[in-house]
């Protein structure tokens, strides 16, 4: 066939035209084999620029188009849609990146930049000639959304989607929804009780007809692809019939077993049949089978005898449920750093050295002390030190900033000053970046809190002076004074780091998610796609992706809900056309491609012993093609001839033409 190629060189304002010789590039392109028209324009992505392409396709009979401009990530779809509008298969359009690869990196040398651009244009013309038309395929999208994790991130996402009358399956591993936010006392900077903000939303989740809430459940398996995911959810036995129980509390009142409450960080006791906290929803208790006497020795039925509704069912078994969903949202939360290894801070050695999560429970009205700040012996402290960055910004532990510690430490200072205490903050840097945060910092400073800039060396009970007796002494470097100081206090609060959950690696394997060096889930792009992942249709929100406060979490959850709604309301999704393909006559079924595929898009059929590509999942990255030992895997529109000819054209000498 006769190749009729149109080449279009974009000025991109002055981004390209300011550093490359556009006239020479346009003239050069027009002389290349098979090129029938070569034009330049100020902004090819503009409507007039696209009209140039459309008109030339229709009037000159172009059957290939090369646009020399910015990155394909930005505008390849734009130019392909223009070609399609004019009647040309969109996959017969290619881009040569002369902005990022030439003008931006060689802005100091126009001749060199122009010469390099000539090579890229020549390679692009050679490559686009051998492209073949591909069919755009679509996949049906299941209308439901699966959300894993029912903290504030999962709750917000679920309510946003359900508000559009779309079905949501909300899976939570704990007996109640609410997550970490339910454990907080007051929120910064406006000091609203966390439960007052959270409880109404929890109630909305429980009562919403479009939300299928599955508490005390875990997702154990996920398969499929964008628009068509299949999940297996294991629902653990509560040993309580939820259709009969009304949460009256008679069962846990009579239970003889007491164990440490995980919700209250071990500062209170709970029964073997329990609800995690007073405001817990659903208000259905669960039996802790590891501590329940009925399961450990079989002779206790106190809860069953006490239940007026006959809701206790010791024979209840775990159940598995299959869910189909078009989109999956992961909001599995975070863990807090255990400061025990930092022995110099005395956690676990001194009773009155506590962590920030423990202080949150103590300060909560529904906490173990009813909101009273007390020492281990029950007395009220008169002074407290708050140590920042415990585990954060530390080369030995977590190198990143946890973002919240400065603000919740200021919140603690405000609360303690309100009780008449002397308060000291040992900080490295104050990072108060949010709305109203800097103002809150100033307010706390005006209240008389003592700010000491420096790293704490040690917390000890070894005294040197009479005034230190019976106190904890915080030995700290004050960088502003240039001196080592000793601060005697009654209580020390460690502002511990937020960290990725202990089971993050397991979750990442289940959802095929990438993780950054700090262990949190990795987004597709931190600026352009902060909720997306490398697997289309799966989104991450909240602190499973990195430290953030409630406001940022809710904002991100709302964004993820919008992305999921965009997907499921369309009813179909366009699939990648330039996927890998298998030459079955050559394929030996060795499995190299299956093992190397980052998207799990390839399987070796156990019956035929041949590789099979799931085109709905394949991203056309080409990893299988370059690693296949028998050359059975090939990438559509990336044949060896295209690659080799492109290399040949790109590496020729163009110096004389650019001068």
CATH of residue 458's domain is 3.50.50.60
Query: Do 86 and 121 belong together in one domain?
Result: yes
pLDDT at 576: 81
Domain identity same for 353 and 483? yes
Task: Give domain status of residue 393, yes or no.
Answer: yes
Which pLDDT does position 35 carry in this prediction? 97
Q: Are residues 29 and 130 in the same domain?
A: yes
pLDDT at site 658: 64
Q: What are phi and psi of 46, to 5 degrees?
A: -70, 165
Phi, psi of 374, deg, nearest 5? -135, 155
Q: Is 587 part of a structural domain of the chain?
A: yes
From residue 302, alpha-carbon distances to 85, 92, 111, 273, 298 in Å are 74, 75, 88, 10, 11
Q: Per the domain annotation, does 242 fall within a domain?
A: no
Let me know if residue 33 belongs to a domain: yes
Peptide bond into 84 cis (omega under 30): no
In sequence order, which residues have a C-beta less than 8 Å from that of residue 591 and are 6 or more positions away? Answer: 604, 611
**pLDDT (tens digit, 9 = 90+) per residue, 428-456?**
999 998 999 999 999 999 999 999 999 99
Q: Which residues pair with 127 in a beta bridge?
A: none
Contacts of 77 (CB under 8 A, 6+ apart): none
73-81 contacts at long range (C-beta below 8 A, 24 or more positions apart): 74/45, 75/44, 75/45, 78/45, 78/50, 79/44, 79/45, 79/50, 79/53
> Mean pLDDT across the chain, nearest whole number?
95
Give domain status of residue 83, yes or no: yes
3-state secondary structure 492-534: EEEEECEECCCCHHHHHHHHCCCECCCCCECCCECCCECCECC
- 311 belongs to a structural domain: no
Say if residue 365 is in the same domain as residue 492.
yes
**For 32-133, where are the E strands, in sequence order?**
35-41, 64-69, 93-97
659 pLDDT exceeds 80? no
Domain containing residue 85: CATH number: 3.40.50
Judge if 94 and 31 occupy the same domain: yes
- Residue 66 pLDDT: 98
Q: In the predicted model, what is the mean pLDDT of residues 576-600?
A: 91
414 and 386 in a common domain: yes
Q: Do residue 81 and residue 20 come from a single domain?
A: yes
Are 205 and 158 in contact by the 8 Å Cβ rule? The answer is yes
Question: In whole angstroms, what is the distance from residue 413 CA to residue 390 CA?
Answer: 17
Number of domains comprising the chain:
5
For residue 347, being part of any structural domain is answered with yes
Q: What's the whole-number mean pLDDT along residues 49-60?
A: 97
Sign of the four-CA dihedral 636, 637, 638, 644:
positive
Residues 50 and 160 in one domain: no
Residue 493 and residue 402 share a domain: yes
Tell me: the pLDDT tens digits for 254-311?
Answer: 999 999 999 999 999 999 999 999 999 999 999 999 999 999 988 899 999 999 999 9
Residues 74 and 154 in one domain: no
Answer yes or no: do 375 and 398 share one domain. Answer: yes
What residue numbers bound the domain in which 129 lies? 5-134+642-658
In order of 45, 379, 380, 469, the CA distances from 375 in angstroms are: 67, 5, 6, 16
Handedness of CA 413, 416, 417, 418 (dihedral sign): positive
Asked if residue 510 and residue 417 are part of one domain, the reply reads no
pLDDT, position 654: 82
- Within a domain: residue 312? no
Q: Based on the number of CB atoms within 10 Å of its own CB, is 353 exposed (0-12), middle (13-18) or buried (19 or more)?
A: buried
Over residues 18-27, the pLDDT tens digits come to: 999 999 999 9
């Amino acid at each position: 066939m006769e190749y009729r190629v149109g080449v279009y060189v974009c000025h991109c304002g002055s981004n390209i035209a300011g550093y490359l010789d556009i006239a020479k590039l346009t003239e050069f392109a027009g002389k290349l084999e098979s090129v029938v028209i070569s034009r330049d324009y100020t902004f090819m992505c503009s409507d007039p620029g696209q009209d140039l392409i459309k008109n030339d396709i229709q009037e000159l009979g172009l059957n290939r188009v090369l646009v020399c401009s910015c990155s394909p990530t930005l505008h390849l779809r734009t130019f392909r849609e223009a070609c399609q509008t004019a009647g040309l298969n969109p996959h017969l359009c290619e881009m040569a990146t002369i902005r990022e690869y030439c003008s931006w990196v060689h802005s100091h040398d126009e001749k060199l930049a122009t010469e390099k651009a000539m090579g890229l244009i020549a390679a692009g013309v050679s490559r686009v000639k051998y492209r073949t038309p591909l069919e755009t395929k679509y996949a049906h999208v299941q209308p439901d959304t699966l959300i894993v994790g029912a903290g504030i991130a999962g709750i917000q996402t679920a309510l946003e989607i359900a508000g559009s009358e779309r079905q949501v399956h909300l899976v939570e591993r704990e007996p109640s929804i609410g997550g970490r936010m339910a454990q907080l006392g007051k929120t910064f900077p406006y000091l609203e009780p966390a439960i007052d903000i959270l409880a109404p939303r929890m109630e909305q989740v429980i009562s919403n007809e479009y939300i299928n809430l599955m508490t005390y459940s875990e997702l154990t398996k996920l398969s499929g692809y964008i628009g068509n995911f299949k999940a297996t959810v294991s629902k653990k036995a509560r040993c309580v019939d939820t259709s009969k129980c009304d949460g009256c509390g008679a069962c846990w009142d009579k239970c003889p077993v007491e164990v440490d409450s995980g919700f209250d960080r071990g500062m209170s006791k709970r029964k073997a049949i329990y609800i995690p906290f007073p405001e817990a929803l659903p208000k259905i208790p669960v039996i802790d089978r590891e501590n329940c006497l009925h399961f450990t020795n079989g002779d206790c039925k106190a809860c069953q005898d006490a239940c007026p509704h006959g809701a206790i069912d010791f024979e209840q078994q775990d159940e598995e449920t299959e869910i189909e969903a078009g989109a999956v949202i992961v909001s599995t939360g975070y863990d807090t750093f255990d400061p025990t290894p930092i022995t110099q801070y005395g956690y676990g050695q001194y009773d009155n050295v506590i962590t920030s999560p423990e202080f949150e429970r103590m300060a909560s009205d529904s906490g173990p002390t009813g909101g009273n700040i007390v020492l281990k012996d029950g007395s009220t402290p008169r002074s407290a030190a708050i140590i920042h960055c415990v585990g954060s910004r530390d080369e030995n532990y977590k190198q990143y900033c946890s973002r919240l510690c400065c603000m919740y430490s200021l919140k603690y200072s405000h609360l303690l000053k309100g009780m008449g205490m002397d308060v000291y903050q040992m900080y490295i840097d104050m990072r108060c970046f949010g709305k109203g945060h800097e103002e809150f910092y100033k307010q706390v400073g005006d209240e008389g809190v003592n700010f000491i800039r420096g790293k704490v060396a040690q917390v000890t009970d070894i005294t040197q002076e009479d005034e230190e007796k019976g106190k904890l002494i915080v030995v700290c470097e004050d960088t502003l004074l240039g001196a080592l100081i000793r601060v005697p206090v009654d209580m020390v609060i460690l502002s511990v780091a937020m960290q990725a959950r202990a089971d993050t690696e397991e979750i990442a394997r289940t959802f095929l998610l990438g993780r950054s060096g700090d262990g949190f889930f990795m987004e597709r792009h931190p600026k352009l796609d902060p909720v997306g992942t490398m697997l289309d249709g799966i989104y991450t929100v909240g602190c499973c992706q990195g430290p953030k406060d409630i406001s940022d979490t809710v904002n991100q959850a709302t964004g993820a809900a919008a992305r999921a709604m965009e997907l499921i309301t369309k009813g179909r999704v366009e699939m990648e056309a330039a996927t890998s393909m298998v030459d079955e006559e050559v394929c030996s079924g060795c499995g190299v491609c299956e093992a190397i595929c980052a998207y799990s898009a390839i399987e070796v059929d156990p019956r035929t012993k041949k590789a099979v590509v799931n085109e709905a999942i394949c991203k056309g990255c080409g990893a299988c093609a370059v690693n296949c030992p028998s050359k059975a895997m090939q990438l559509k529109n990336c044949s060896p001839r295209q690659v080799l000819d492109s290399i040949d054209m790109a590496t020729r000498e163009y110096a004389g033409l650019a001068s």
